[in-house]
Amino acid sequence: MILVAVGSNLPSRAGAPLATCQAAVREMAARGIAIRAISTWYETAPVPASDQPWYVNGVVRVETQLSPHNLLGLLHVIEKDYERERGTPNAARTLDLDLLAYGSHVLGQGPLILPHPRLHERAFVLLPLKDVAPDWAHALTGQTPAEMIGALPQGLENQGIRALSLNA
């Protein structure tokens, strides 16, 4: 199972953050990545806490023949197409595409670490991950998304997360 986190908190050429996230998913599909499931979109407070705008976050379950490194490269190209500027860590951004997991691959060093090294700490990743892959198990810990959510030290309520109503 291949899982990609999608996030944005600044407008891009596609529009507001939600429109950017949705356009990025369509762009992945247009570039040959098969989209198998899209989570609910969530509004989330910045982590770590700051005065930057709230994010829109989700997770997509995909299939591709690309290797993990080539998939990450393509995700970076899509980010750049949506005006992503890399600079300060945790800075506001137009688009963030993170490769969370690629099957049972475990990579522990270099520019790509799998599973993503902080996914178990981030409710803004775990809630949408649970939407698209509730039975997925972390390759190192064996924990499911629900188990990782239950292990969060602060609890979800302290990480500022709410599902977006797309009908509003």
One DSSP character per residue, 43-89 reads EE--SS--SSPPEEEEEEEEE-SS-HHHHHHHHHHHHHHTT----ST
What is the model's pTM? 0.92
Among 26-30, 124-128, 140-144, 158-162, whose mean pLDDT is lowest? 158-162
User: Phi and psi dihedrals of 132, rounded to 5?
Assistant: -100, -15
The first and second tokens of residue 117, run together, are: 């090294």
Task: Select which of 61, 81, 86, 93 is catalytic.
Answer: 93
Task: Select which of 84, 118, 135, 162 is catalytic.
Answer: 84
Residue 155: the pLDDT is 58
Is residue 81 part of the annotated active site? The answer reads: no
Task: Select which of 31, 61, 86, 98 is catalytic.
Answer: 98
User: Residues 98, 100, 106, 109: is their CA dihedral positive or negative?
Assistant: positive
Could you state, in order of their start, the residue ranges of all structural domains in the chain? 2-163
The first and second tokens of residue 74, run together, are: 């393509």
DSSP class of residue 40? P
Is residue 93 part of the annotated active site? The answer reads: yes
Rounded CA-CA distance 59/98 in Å is 9
pLDDT in tens, 61-111: 999 999 999 999 999 999 999 987 777 776 788 999 999 999 989 988 778
User: Phi and psi dihedrals of 2, rounded to 5?
Assistant: -110, 125
Are β-strands 96-102 and 34-38 bridged in parallel, bridged antiparallel, or unpaired? unpaired
- Asked whether the predicted pLDDT for residue 167 surpasses 70, the reply is no
Whole-number percent of the chain with pLDDT over 90: 67
Given the candidates 3.40.50.280, 3.30.70.560, 3.40.50.920, 3.40.50.620, the CATH classification of the domain at 2-163 is: 3.30.70.560
Is residue 135 part of the annotated active site? The answer reads: no
